A and B are shown apart, each in its own frame.
Chain A
Amino acid sequence: MNIDFSKIPTYDTLGVIERVNRFGKRSIKNSSKVEGLKLALSMIDLTTLEGKDTKGKVEQLCYKAMHPHDALQNIPTVAAICVYPSMVSIAKKALQGSKINVASVATAFPSGQSDLKIKLADTKFAADQGADEIDMVISRGKFLSGNYQYVFDEIAAVKEACGKAHLKVILETGELETLDNVRRASEIAIQAGADFIKTSTGKIQPAATLPVTYVMLDTIKDHYLKTGIMIGMKPAGGISTSKIALQYLVMLNEVLGEKWMNKEYFRFGASSLANDILMQLVKSETGFYQSANYFSKD
């Protein structure tokens, strides 16, 4: 495949910041707020990606995913659990009977600094363990040195190795420096077969930001206009409060609209967001903020 990725639509950073600030000024109240909070909860990929992860920790997280807060009626479960490949089978077993997916990071996450063969083996291992979704990282070094074809080929190869599993491609936007690079990386990922594009590993600062996510949504929009194919979006890292999550949803609502307003096409990669949403939901029912101690930390 020969696409010239050096020619892409360009972005004016100040203009993008001004635009996303407007989303932040939307005032979300009452029932629309509850609707937004529940939607955000249903879109969470509850994540633990640490060297110290254990079977026990992952099992507890899975229980939390299925039972976010039993005191509340009519709330959704989260969309997926996101873990390292070695934890996939444990999570898969713990989530049996639920509709919650297991997502696994792969391809020498988080740096991606390894050989393609190893990355493909990493991906196959995760998929064989039963991962429904694979979150890969792109080779940022190759990308920044202008070797777009390498990045493209690598993503295409990983996509193939995924088999039935959905592929999310992490751009690690915190290392890409410019919005034009974010656009370019998004296009490469989409053309190479990504089902989702994702901002960050969570290991690099800055992680997800509104401007970066805006550019990725705009890329998804243009791709849809050209091909009619819908690509999903996952901002990850740094989204820890309901307020910020709602700003992302406002942006999604006003940029891509209703067809993307579901967990099939939008996810939040987050660990502490769920409890903040739950606290807000309880507040909307009771009128009071409860102590954080009432919300389980798993």
Chain B
Amino acid sequence: MANKNKPFKASWSYDPAPESTDHIQLQKKYDLYIDGKFIKPESGKYFDTINPANDEIIAEIAIAEKEDVDKAVKAAKSAFKNWSKIEPKERGKYIYRIARLIQERAREFAVIESLDGGKPIRESRDIDIPLAANHFFYYAGWTDKLEFAFPNRKPKPLGVAGQIIPWNFPLLMAAWKLAPALATGNTVVLKPAETTPLTALKLAEIIRDSGLPKGVVNIITGAGKTGAEIVNHPDIDKISFTGSTAVGKYIQKAVAGTNKKITLELGGKSANIIFEDAAIDQAVEGIIDAIFFNQGHVCCAGSRLFIQESVANTVIQKLKDRMETLMVGDPMDKNTDIGAINSKRQLKTIENYIKIGLNEGGEIFQTDCILPEKGNWCKPTLFLNLSQSHTIVQEEIFGPVLAIQTFRTIEEVIEKANNTPYGLAAGVWTQNGSKIFHMTQKLKAGVIWANTFNKFDATSPFGGYKESGFGREGGLHGLKPYVKFE
């Protein structure tokens, strides 16, 4: 036997299969998209956006400060007068047009998403970009049917929505927020995350080309300070934020006592529960999808794994074998399963949690993949010998690190799964249908997947319980945070 611990080691290594990048159009420098055109920031300041897979600078991005935020909000406010009044079906036409333009340029978007954020091209190509287009298609259909979405309640738009999006699914999160806001007749000031601004700026180009009335969508870039300017701006009527729970708490404090409506989609430490009567092999695959999808940079990642004791050894052995076949490396390679960690800062956070896990006595397993020299990388990692009181079981790591515990009874696992300040998602693996319904009633989580994980759809609402936030995005429910009733 070649290697006793790795009896099923793959031997056939695939040649590099890089997605070509020559078809994409990127500028060296990006300005702020305000009132239908790209304009320079008042301060003249720019920051670099970096390719996390090789540390190279891709482009310079404008920093929006107070004056720029003012301009953007003013443009949005003035555009609201007409946009909120035009025929709803006309609004729908614009949104359909944006959806089609994204589809037409899907390949370019996918490449830029992977270049800027480090996610594998397979994921940006097959998940992020098509799903982003789907959200626009879906909400375009609602524009002239809002009265049926809220019967007898006369829904009206709120005004100017300030939208702050995270770096893990840059274009998709922009779509999640823009599409329902536009469909309901609001205008928008949107800020992408500072490490991944490029696809939002490419979206700005599409929006410009779509002929959408100027000022309806304004896309401005910058770091936390820019975000704070949006949150605190007096002429903003609605804040929608996806990101960390710490920032979410700050935002909620900041808008307290104002008239601003607010939607927060925050962190998570979602439980993924494997019962002994599950289809074990598919459950193992589900564990992989739950924690290693997008390098674990997923707010609903199944980062806490609970395995029923009678099958724990089998599942862990199979999981380790499967992890060894994950290909870590160049995000542009079509065979890559796990790409680059989004930023140096995030990599440090993850590494720090791994240290904490070891210091607290966790038993670590990492695959023996070879990591590239340049860029930000983390091996697929799991920890055993943990309890509810371990830090890495309690806190969100936002990386490819899985915390494993075992359980004996259904009551025990429900108690443990709910024993967290978060409540975003959960996964249940069993071939027993009634057990699934029992679990979905008992688990306090916004989304519960049965025999699958990390599945998203434009028609399906997404959002959290407890400190994972409030408000829903997607589906009919996703319209509600953007309307008021007379």
Interface residues of A (CB under 8 A from B): 9-12, 14-16, 18-19, 25-33, 35-36, 39, 218, 221, 224-225, 249-250, 253-259, 261
B13 within 8 A of A: yes
Known: A10-B431, A254-B325, A258-B9. A29 touches B282 (CB 8 A): no
By beta carbon, the residue of chain A nearest B19 is: A27
Q: Write the nearest CB–CB distance from A193 to chain B, whole angstroms.
A: 22
Q: Is the CB of B15 within 8 A of A30?
A: yes
How many Å lie between the Cα of A32 and that of B12 in the bound state? 8
Q: Write the nearest CB–CB distance from A45 to chain B, whole angstroms.
A: 21
A32: which B residues are within 8 A, CB to CB?
12-15
B452: which A residues are within 8 A, CB to CB?
14-15, 18
Known: A9-B280, A12-B282, A15-B279. A27 touches B7 (CB 8 A): no
Q: Is the CB of B8 within 8 A of A29?
A: no
B12: which A residues are within 8 A, CB to CB?
32, 35-36, 39, 249-250, 253, 258, 261
Which of B10, B277, B335 is close to A258, meaning CB atoms less than 8 Å apart? B10
Q: Is the CB of A221 within 8 A of B17?
A: no
How many Å lie between the Cα of A14 and that of B450 in the bound state? 12
B100 within 8 A of A: no
How many Å lie between the Cα of A250 and that of B12 in the bound state? 8
Q: Write the nearest CB–CB distance from A121 to chain B, whole angstroms.
A: 40
Q: Is the CB of A27 within 8 A of B325?
A: no
Q: Is the CB of A29 within 8 A of B16?
A: yes
Q: Is the CB of B282 within 8 A of A19?
A: yes
- Interchain residue pairs with CB less than 8 A apart (7): A26-B14, A27-B17, A29-B17, A218-B281, A253-B10, A253-B12, A259-B8
Q: Is the CB of A255 within 8 A of B8?
A: yes
Which of B16, B279, B335 is close to A26, meaning CB atoms less than 8 Å apart? B335
Known: A25-B122, A25-B334. A11 touches B11 (CB 8 A): no
By beta carbon, the residue of chain B nearest A18 is: B285
By beta carbon, the residue of chain B nearest A36 is: B12
Q: Is the CB of A259 within 8 A of B2?
A: yes
How many Å lie between the Cα of A39 and that of B285 in the bound state? 28
Known: A19-B282, A258-B2. A224 touches B7 (CB 8 A): yes
Q: Is the CB of B11 within 8 A of A12?
A: no
Q: Write the nearest CB–CB distance from B13 to chain A, whole angstroms.
A: 7
Q: Write the nearest CB–CB distance from A265 to chain B, whole angstroms.
A: 12
A12: which B residues are within 8 A, CB to CB?
279, 282, 431, 451
Q: Is the CB of A225 within 8 A of B281?
A: no
Q: Is the CB of A27 within 8 A of B334?
A: yes
Known: A221-B8, A258-B2. A27 touches B14 (CB 8 A): yes
B286 within 8 A of A: yes
Q: Is the CB of A29 within 8 A of B15?
A: yes
For the complex of A and B, the 6 pairs showing the least CB-CB separation, nearest first, are: A258-B11, A15-B282, A27-B17, A257-B8, A12-B279, A27-B334
A27: which B residues are within 8 A, CB to CB?
14, 17, 334-335
Q: Write the nearest CB–CB distance from A241 to chain B, whole angstroms.
A: 19
A sample of 10 more A-B contacts (CB under 8 A), given A14-B451, A224-B7, is A11-B279, A11-B282, A12-B282, A16-B282, A18-B452, A28-B17, A254-B10, A254-B325, A257-B9, A258-B10
A26: which B residues are within 8 A, CB to CB?
14, 334-335
By beta carbon, the residue of chain B nearest A262 is: B11
How many Å lie between the Cα of A12 and that of B285 in the bound state? 11
Q: Write the nearest CB–CB distance from B170 to chain A, whole angstroms.
A: 23
B317 within 8 A of A: yes
Q: Give the contacts of B137-175 with A (CB-CB under 8 A).
A: none
B325: which A residues are within 8 A, CB to CB?
254
Q: Write the nearest CB–CB distance from A33 to chain B, whole angstroms.
A: 7
